[in-house]
A and B are shown apart, each in its own frame.
Chain A
């Protein structure tokens, strides 16, 4: 059987020739993402904004009358509602802010939700209530704090691990690549104003783990080659390492992609944001391990001596073991 070869056997792509323009582009994209997040903001869902969110499906309509719903719900007097499509053209989520002090009145929030649903049901036939979320301001604030904390700790945690397993330059490279991936994902959510919820934070945390896989595989090969080819120029060595691991990078990105895409298109509506974040992050993560994490190694001055202290020790032991094995065989 003739096997599929996605990447030709001996590639020799000069990845790092473009390192300066592409690195600059990445830095610009990171800045642009944060500018977007800070000016346009993220479209916080009920988890982070707090309030009362009702999800409805209009079973007899092709398309939900979003504009009309917005004014109908606004007329109820609970402040301006956020009405957006939710997964299907005839499904919406409607969020209204909770009035002050509502926490101390059990049932008040549900009554608001019921009022919203009843108002809409009386105007449109065939409205199905799919769900109802109420998050108080206090809990929403806690979610914000723990989200930022979890993201920060995850990035630091994995960067530290890389530092311990490789060298500090690799840790810096990984951290920068992660920061890039997370920033661009946030930028994408801000640009398209996709709803930003707890699930998206979960997706980004998972992404931190998975986007690092590529970086680690490349780093591992760089380390191996640094020991093997002492005399090689660093940019050349990095290019070699990336070419050697290219087949794997393409294949793994592809398997992840073909696994995630059906979920993106046919999966449950409530998962769209999460899956979109992970799929987007996979692309960005693969790119960043090639064009961000690796050039940083050059600029941080990684060279074949970086692993010498450990290596001589390891070598000595290995040699000793080999010699012993040879002797015992003999």
Chain B
């Protein structure tokens, strides 16, 4: 029990000092010492509630992803069947109930249609089948989504949404944002130092789906205003800040160009009329499509549609080659810049809504740290005084162990790159108060054993042995509660759980192992016949 061979000593001291050393950069930076950037020392991250900043929880609706997916399928099916030789004719298209169904004009086309559509139904990336094809009444084709296909679509959409969110926030130039997917349909965004997230929310609040569609001039204006679209067309409203707010326009449903084939977008000013504009560049494929569209439709109007609202509907004055275009609407410098960022970062595959938002001022955070530190200092001094007054030499051992405990806890948090939150500070204080419990148990037991007349060595050995049982049991139950705490709640609460859990480990280590080594050394060197405890 009280034997400590050299290897054991070295291991104990090695672990203790390594953990303690890892805490040094964090302590220095709290004390205001600047650490040069080229020193890559791990330091404890401060949570937003201490550093100040904004936290947003974004959520997508799976239904939106599913309907988007259905729309893509419809477009592809139409293209396939129209391009077939000979062309396969069909009608009565419906997308009700999340399924795409249509009626073939001739039942004899069914096998050909099946052959053509089959590649669309397979998964492209892995073997998950995306759609099931069934035939009803010999000539109605029904394509229904598979659950595997749906969940994969949600997964893909969220991955790319996370990427788009990251690009948009990077474009804002804020420092060190954290952007991570959470669960199936959520994204957590944390931006330290950003106290008013309004601009950020506006940037993320639109999907920025840009579309170019030909205006259907055959539509009667009265019917368009009444919301009745000619066959093959659909009706869009003009954007509220455009020159034609409140009006509607009919555009051809298919055959347009999507904004996801852009390579660049910049805000600019049109030198002719000093208007704020957004200049865009298509990629090669998009450029060719755009050239074709403009060549075939010179002198016709087309609509520039952003997120289902028409920004403007200019005329193709001439074929546009070279893959560049200019969007003008009723922009000001800010809104032009915002749109340019959104277009550059790509469209969000699905709209995101903010379901939780928290922001804390840096001033309050700094105040919290200061008050927390002060409270912890007073508390620690009180605990130390109490321990030394009650247990003398053994109290001093417990005190040194406590210092290594707190240092090691901080060090392990730095090594693990964990975040210290406001409740985490309470976790530190709670750890200080509870950590000495192990030493109290041991010391009281040693007192008892001495009272029963055991010799010093036997009393100490027995004290550690008998007390360990309760110490382990108590710490394991705390650990169980801590793990549940970890799985619960939002970031700050999790920060509390992390401190408590790591604190349990460091407490058991320092209170049981380190103090035992020191006590053993004392007994072996001094060979006391009585203990003042």
Q: How far is the CA of A247 from the CA of B482 in the complex (A)?
A: 27
* A210 close to B430 (CB less than 8 A): yes
* A9 close to B437 (CB less than 8 A): no
* B473 close to A260 (CB less than 8 A): no
B451 at the interface (CB under 8 A from A): yes
Known contacts A3-B533, A110-B198, A201-B489; is-contact A217 B470 (Cβ 8 Å): yes
Task: Pick from B392, B433, B440, B474 the residue with the most CB of A within 10 Å.
Answer: B433
* B477 close to A162 (CB less than 8 A): yes
Q: Which of A20-28, A32-40, A67-75, A145-153 contacts B (4 or more CB under 8 A)?
A: A145-153
* A130 close to B355 (CB less than 8 A): no
A172 at the interface (CB under 8 A from B): no
* A206 close to B390 (CB less than 8 A): no
* B426 close to A255 (CB less than 8 A): no
Instruction: Give min CB distance, A327 to chain B, whole Å.
Output: 22
Instruction: Give min CB distance, A157 to chain B, whole Å.
Output: 5
Residues of A within 8 A of B376 (CB): 262-263
Q: Which of B95-103, B137-145, B159-167, B367-375 contacts A (4 or more CB under 8 A)?
A: B367-375
Instruction: Give min CB distance, B172 to chain A, whole Å.
Output: 15
* B474 close to A217 (CB less than 8 A): yes
Task: Pick from A114, A138, A206 the residue with the most CB of B within 10 Å.
Answer: A206
* A9 close to B375 (CB less than 8 A): no
Known contacts A6-B390, A110-B198, A252-B437; is-contact A212 B375 (Cβ 8 Å): no
Partner of A1, one of B205, B434, B532: B532
Q: How far is the CA of A139 from the CA of B353 in the complex (A)?
A: 12
Known contacts A107-B202, A133-B358, A263-B376; is-contact A202 B422 (Cβ 8 Å): no
Residues of A within 8 A of B380 (CB): 259
* B480 close to A262 (CB less than 8 A): no
Q: Using an 8 Å CB-CB cutoff, how does the interface string of B354-396 with A read, 1 for contact, 0 for none? A: 1111111101100110011011101110110011011110000
Residues of A within 8 A of B367 (CB): 268
* A106 close to B201 (CB less than 8 A): yes
* A206 close to B485 (CB less than 8 A): yes
Q: How far is the CA of A213 from the CA of B331 in the complex (A)?
A: 65
Q: How far is the CA of A190 from the CA of B480 in the complex (A)?
A: 27
* B434 close to A213 (CB less than 8 A): yes
* A158 close to B480 (CB less than 8 A): yes
Q: How far is the CA of A138 from the CA of B447 in the complex (A)?
A: 56
Q: How far is the CA of A212 from the CA of B533 in the complex (A)?
A: 27
B448 at the interface (CB under 8 A from A): yes
Residues of B within 8 A of A162 (CB): 477
* A220 close to B473 (CB less than 8 A): yes
B158 at the interface (CB under 8 A from A): no
Residues of B within 8 A of A213 (CB): 434, 437, 474, 477-478
Partner of B480, one of A135, A154, A245: A154
A253-298 contacts to B, CB under 8 A, are 254-263, 265-268, 270-271, 274-275, 278
Known contacts A107-B201, A262-B378; is-contact A150 B484 (Cβ 8 Å): yes
* A130 close to B361 (CB less than 8 A): yes
Instruction: Give min CB distance, A139 to chain B, whole Å.
Output: 5
* B488 close to A254 (CB less than 8 A): no
* B430 close to A136 (CB less than 8 A): no
Q: How far is the CA of A255 from the CA of B478 in the complex (A)?
A: 18
Known contacts A129-B361, A146-B488; is-contact A202 B497 (Cβ 8 Å): yes
Q: How far is the CA of A220 from the CA of B361 in the complex (A)?
A: 48
B187 at the interface (CB under 8 A from A): no
Partner of A259, one of B196, B379, B447: B379
B441 at the interface (CB under 8 A from A): yes
* A110 close to B357 (CB less than 8 A): yes
Known contacts A3-B532, A206-B496, A258-B433; is-contact A131 B389 (Cβ 8 Å): no
Partner of B383, one of A3, A205, A255: A255
* B432 close to A271 (CB less than 8 A): no
Instruction: Give min CB distance, B378 to chain A, whole Å.
Output: 4
Q: How far is the CA of A104 from the CA of B426 in the complex (A)?
A: 36
Q: Which residue of A lies closest to B437 (CB)?
A: A252
Instruction: Give min CB distance, B240 to chain A, whole Å.
Output: 13
Q: Which residue of A lies closest to B487 (CB)?
A: A150
Q: How far is the CA of A1 from the CA of B426 in the complex (A)?
A: 34
Partner of A266, one of B197, B371, B466: B371
Instruction: Give min CB distance, B341 to chain A, whole Å.
Output: 15
Interface size class for chain B?
35 or more
Instruction: Give min CB distance, B491 to chain A, whole Å.
Output: 10
Instruction: Give min CB distance, B55 to chain A, whole Å.
Output: 9
B283 at the interface (CB under 8 A from A): no
* A206 close to B430 (CB less than 8 A): yes
B321-354 contacts to A, CB under 8 A, are 353-354
Instruction: Give min CB distance, A50 to chain B, whole Å.
Output: 10
* B357 close to A210 (CB less than 8 A): no
B22 at the interface (CB under 8 A from A): no
Known contacts A139-B57, A209-B478, A260-B433; is-contact A271 B426 (Cβ 8 Å): yes
Q: Which residue of B lies closest to A160 (CB)?
A: B480
Instruction: Give min CB distance, A151 to chain B, whole Å.
Output: 8
Task: Pick from A107, A224, A255 the residue with the most CB of B within 10 Å.
Answer: A255
A199 at the interface (CB under 8 A from B): yes
Q: How far is the CA of A221 from the CA of B533 in the complex (A)?
A: 21
Known contacts A131-B364, A161-B477; is-contact A260 B430 (Cβ 8 Å): yes
* A103 close to B422 (CB less than 8 A): no
Residues of B within 8 A of A323 (CB): none
Residues of A within 8 A of B481 (CB): 154, 157-158, 205-206, 208-209, 212
Partner of B360, one of A130, A138, A150, A244: A130
B500 at the interface (CB under 8 A from A): yes
Instruction: Give min CB distance, A12 to chain B, whole Å.
Output: 14
Residues of B within 8 A of A133 (CB): 357-359
Q: How far is the CA of A5 from the CA of B425 in the complex (A)?
A: 31
Q: How far is the CA of A193 from the CA of B450 in the complex (A)?
A: 50
Instruction: Give min CB distance, A222 to chain B, whole Å.
Output: 11
A4 at the interface (CB under 8 A from B): yes
Partner of B489, one of A106, A136, A161, A202: A202
* A110 close to B532 (CB less than 8 A): no
Residues of B within 8 A of A224 (CB): 466
- Which 7 A-B residue pairs are closest in the complex by CB-CB distance? A106-B205, A259-B433, A209-B481, A209-B478, A258-B382, A268-B368, A256-B433
Task: List, sorted by A's number, 30 A–B pairs whose CB atoms are closer than 8 Å.
Answer: A1-B392, A5-B390, A55-B364, A103-B354, A106-B206, A107-B198, A110-B201, A131-B358, A139-B355, A157-B481, A161-B477, A165-B473, A199-B423, A205-B488, A209-B480, A213-B434, A213-B474, A213-B477, A213-B478, A220-B470, A220-B473, A244-B448, A248-B441, A251-B440, A257-B433, A258-B386, A262-B379, A267-B371, A268-B425, A271-B422
* A residues neighboring B (CB under 8 Å): 1, 3-6, 9, 55, 103-104, 106-107, 109-110, 114, 128-136, 138-139, 143, 146-147, 149-150, 153-154, 157-158, 161-162, 165, 198-199, 201-202, 205-206, 208-210, 212-213, 216-217, 220-221, 224, 244-245, 247-248, 251-252, 254-263, 265-268, 270-271, 274-275, 278
Given A109-B357, A139-B57, list of 5 further CB < 8 A pairs? A1-B392, A6-B390, A110-B197, A110-B201, A198-B489
